[in-house]
Amino acid sequence: MSKQVIDFITDPRYVRRAREQRTIAAMLRMYCHAHGHGADHDLCPDCARLLDYATRRLERCIFGDAKPTCANCLVHCYSADLREQMRIVMRWTGPRMLKRHPILGILHLLDGRRPSIRLPEKPQKSQKV
Ligand code: SF4
Ligand SMILES: [Zn+2]
């Protein structure tokens, strides 16, 4: 029997990360348009780059669908500059999400209550004398 291969994000077993990706996309659209960055309905290059990056991080998240929100993550796999950009976007969009996207906003608030996850410590390398 051949091994089963599933598509990440589009597969129903990845519902949480797929929804989180939609939430981030909605937040970035709100932020980008309200700040007059993009033309028409497109994201500006910086916001599009941030969305691509966040999507890739979600796809490769070490915690899978059990992940905490990235803001509560102890690993934090983002680069320092993009993490700061995302923090700025989230801080601006957070209070506005419930009005514009109530379901995504409520689910994201609930996700924020998920515990942070600590990874097991790596074994110490024995020191040679
Ligand atoms: S910051 Fe943490 S929760 Fe978010 S994608 Fe990276 S490892 Fe996963
Ligand atoms: Zn933008």
For the Cβ of 62 lying below 6 angstroms from any atom of ligand 1, the answer is yes
pLDDT-based confidence at 13, cuts 50/70/90? low
CB 18 within 8 A of CB 9: yes
| Full-model pTM | 0.84
Q: Which ligand is nearest to the CA of 85?
A: 2
Structure-token pair, residue 99: 């009005």
* Residue 10 predicted with pLDDT over 80: no
pLDDT-based confidence at 106, cuts 50/70/90? very high
Q: What is the pLDDT of residue 1?
A: 65
Q: Which ligand is nearest to the CA of 51?
A: 2
pLDDT-based confidence at 33, cuts 50/70/90? very high
What is the residue extent of each domain of the chain? 12-111
CB 57 within 8 A of CB 76: no
